[in-house]
Structure 1
Amino acid sequence: MRNELVLKKDPILEFFVQAANNRGFTLDLTLQIEGCLITGTLMSAKDYFMDLSEGFEDSDDITQAISKQMASASEEAGKSGKEEANYIHLKHADIYYGDSNPIPQTGVRLWRGKLSEVEGFFLGRITNTS
């Protein structure tokens, strides 16, 4: 029986995520996950939750409560230090499936996914020329 190393996460991609979370590093990336291409700009977990919270600020009581929870999550993410990265966050994200147009096409495009689900990646973004 052979001992095989089974990687749950790509260590290079995890390094990029840790640099984003700890140092504010940004990088255009395209990820491959279950037949989809997800393209966008890497961002920190703190910035992700802060941007997400801002989307809920100007509404009713329930959405304002959600906004406060996201702002709190942003503060906690900013304190996390050198912990293992389990999620990746992208801004200006587009999702391509097959030869279709990207989803979504308008609005704030934040995306969060599990690092362990990423099958591959390349540096740079896909740009929609249509």
Structure 2
Amino acid sequence: MTTPAPAEPAASREQGPTKNRDPFLGLLISYIQGDTGELPITLAINGMLISGRIISSHAYFDGMAETIAASLFGNDESPTRAVLVESISSLPGDRNDPEIKEVDSLHFIHLRNVRFMDAAGQMLNLNGAPLWRGRLTEVAGWSFGAFEKS
């Protein structure tokens, strides 16, 4: 008589984009994907704390488009600048497609007003980096609420 192998824990059976992802954090992000509101959060990732406000992928790409265009073109409203902004802003796809919103919320978290703290407790200042995008599978822990500027 053979002894059956012990059951594999449910967490190790997870596959694809939800593996190692906190389902509660994913739920919060999915509510933000409708471009409605923001939530303050602090994430623990690779020994650092990353703090800011959760925003939708569309708000992130719109913000990145304007930030990059301003860095490259300044106030010049050239056709090339407009093409760049449109190209970057359209990266997440159709804003009204629920599948796109769900897929993006399974993989990434987007923050604005970002602040970083290293493992030694030092705040890191990144000039010109008000937006941040990270993989959900890299989040080790999180807390509701964000660092305030002193």
Q: 1:77 to 1:35 in 2, by over 3 A?
A: farther
2:129 and 2:43 mapped to 1: Cα distance?
Answer: 19
Percent identity at matched positions? 25
Count the aligned residue pairs: 126
CA contact (8 A) 2:35 2:58 kept: no
1:103 to 99, 103, 125: 125
2:118 and 2:40 mapped to 1: Cα distance?
Answer: 19
For normalisation by structure 2, the TM-score amounts to 0.73
Q: Which blocks of at least 5 consecutive residues in structure 2 are unaligned? A: 1-5, 12-18
The answer for the alignment partner of 2:56 in structure 1 is 44
2:97 maps to 1:73: no
Structure having the higher Rg:
2
1:108 and 1:81 mapped to 2: Cα distance?
Answer: 29
Q: Which blocks of at least 5 consecutive residues in structure 1 are unaligned? A: none
Structure 1 segments of 4+ aligned residues over 6 angstroms from their partners? none
Deviation, structure 1 residue 26? 1.1
Higher helix share: 2
